[in-house]
Amino acid sequence: MPSTFELLCAGMIALAFGLVVLLNGYKLFLILLPIWGFFFGFVFGAQTMEAVFGVGFLATVTSWVVGFVVGAAFAVFSYLFWMAAVAIFSGMIGYAVGVGLMGAIGLDEAHRRNALIETLLQLWSRRFITMRPATPA
């Protein structure tokens, strides 16, 4: 059970971060978005290697390299393409929640692999719906 002082300190840190976001939200988000993009891309690349080839998470040099490459790509793209970065960030949150929930309900690695492949196929097919250029009326 956390102590009252620990909760007070955590609350003060959260309030201070909230104040910084309130006063410098856009500038701060321009800095934080590539950082979050890198970490998510790193984990996503390494988990994809785990799901596709059945190796352990970060067990091989290849999974580290793929993680770094995908992480760097997510970081660069999140900075260069702001609107796409916000959409990718929303997808990152959904992916993280989904993986966490699947682990919490006890799905094994094979089920998570199938869910990952299904999710990637759905995202690929939905891009044709959402990225369609506007046609003149």
pLDDT in tens, 94-116: 777 777 777 788 777 677 777 77
- Domain spans of the chain, in order of start: 4-130
* Rounded CA separation 43/63 (Å): 10
Q: Which helix (H) or strand (E) holds 13?
A: helix 4-53
- CA nearest 122: which of 130, 110, 133, 132? 130
Per-residue confidence in pLDDT tens, the chain, 137 aa: 668 888 888 889 888 888 887 788 777 777 888 888 899 899 989 988 888 888 888 888 989 999 999 999 988 888 888 777 777 677 777 777 777 777 788 777 677 777 777 777 777 776 666 555 556 65
Residue in the structure block whose two tokens are 């900075």: 79
